[in-house]
A and B are shown apart, each in its own frame.
Chain A
Amino acid sequence: AQSVTQPDIHITVSEGASLELRCNYSYGATPYLFWYVQSPGQGLQLLLKYFSGDTLVQGIKGFEAEFKRSQSSFNLRKPSVHWSDAAEYFCAVGSPSGNTPLVFGKGTRLSVIA
């Protein structure tokens, strides 16, 4: 069965510090992987996605993620966090087909302090 684990429920970082959010997945075939961000009171917005090719993918807002098949991981990173990055972040896994649901992790809440 497909599953996604985000081990960190809540992370606090200082503005300007680097960030890494962890995501581990379980999937029986080649996974399609996504990171979404949810600001308070808003829907989910796609940050980046991995389908194939280069294992380091770039997304919006300066985020990147690296797919490591051997570790079944797809961690999200940002070199310098801004206060506006405070939000909930969700990792998701899906099949190559566009007509099947994604499986989401429980999310990691990011707080940014001055």
Chain B
Amino acid sequence: DAGVIQSPRHEVTEMGQEVTLRCKPISGHNSLFWYRQTMMRGLELLIYFNNNVPIDDSGMPEDRFSAKMPNASFSTLKIQPSEPRDSAVYFCASSLASGYNEQFFGPGTRLTVL
């Protein structure tokens, strides 16, 4: 199993640009989670999906952030326009809803907004 796949691994962009982060969950998993990790705030849940449906997006910081899951094998997190304070590591995780809630994490995308 390839595990959770995230791309790109690193992204450097300028303020105001659109950023799209991608995630491919483990095949067969039906829950997907987007987290953001910063030194100040630690690991924060942004949004999660069950069976491709967004369940809770209360962690999304602003309207500049949006996430989609068009099918069971792909999700995107988009920031438009990006700001320097969005610089962080963004993790995607997936789990099997009928399992014991063990979440499997991807390697993360390190985003730097200049």
Query: Which of B30, B45, B50, B108 is within 8 Å of A43, CB to CB?
Result: B108
Q: Which residues of A contact B43 (CB under 8 A)?
A: 90, 104, 107
Interface residues on B, range: 20 to 34
* B107 nearest in chain A by CB position: A43
Given that A98-B31, A101-B48, A107-B43 are contacting pairs, would A44 and B101 also be in contact in the complex, using a CB cutoff of 8 Å? no
Whole-angstrom distance between the Cβ of B42 and the nearest chain A Cβ: 4
Contact indicator B42/A102 (Cβ below 8 Å): no
Contact indicator B107/A102 (Cβ below 8 Å): no
Question: Is B102 in the interface zone, CB < 8 Å from A?
Answer: yes
Whole-angstrom distance between the Cβ of A28 and the nearest chain B Cβ: 16
Contact indicator A99/B31 (Cβ below 8 Å): yes
**What are 6 A-B contacts with C-beta separation under 8 Å?**
A95-B101, A99-B30, A99-B50, A101-B45, A104-B43, A106-B42
Residues of chain B having any CB pair with chain A under 8 Å:
4, 30-31, 33, 42-43, 45, 48, 50, 55-56, 91, 93, 95-108
